[in-house]
Amino acid sequence: MKTSAKILAYFGILLGMVGATVPMLGQSSASKIDVTQLKSVPSGNYLVTLEIDGQIKRLNFKIEGTKAKCVNSSDPKLKDLEGQFQLHGDGAFVGRFQGATFRGSQLWIFRTDGTAAVREVPDRGEQQSAVPVASDSIEPPKKKP
């Protein structure tokens, strides 16, 4: 095979690989949400990372309407948590949660990518978050390269 033909073949393969990973013009690679239009927490599973007593805990909540139920947890004592959300403002919701060993309130502040910053009430400066996930896993989703 001539050198120019090899170059064209490699270029074609490369172009095919890039075309498979780059969205078409005018399309976004990730759907954005308009947080000002949210009237309730979007339904689905959320992997919630909390800092409780200085330790990181992961909980997976199933959200339906205004109700939240823990379906998986890195701490068995927290697996019975249930809660309810109330609209607080543009993209912000107050969640009140309780279980046998935990009772508390949180403010979930949604971002346009669908994730939420989670603040305890009262806020002590913990770095906590809620990330939409497809299953009830407590493993963090793999980051895209």
> Hey, where are the domains in the chain?
35-133
Q: Identify the pLDDT of residue 8.
A: 31
**What are the respective helix, strand and coil percentages of the chain, to the nearest 5?**
15, 40, 40
Q: Identify the pLDDT of residue 31.
A: 75
Closest CA to 133 of 47, 7, 37: 47
The top-level CATH class assigned to 35-133 is mainly beta
Mean pLDDT of successive 10-residue stretches along the chain, which has 145 residues: 37 31 33 92 97 93 97 96 97 97 94 96 90 94 74
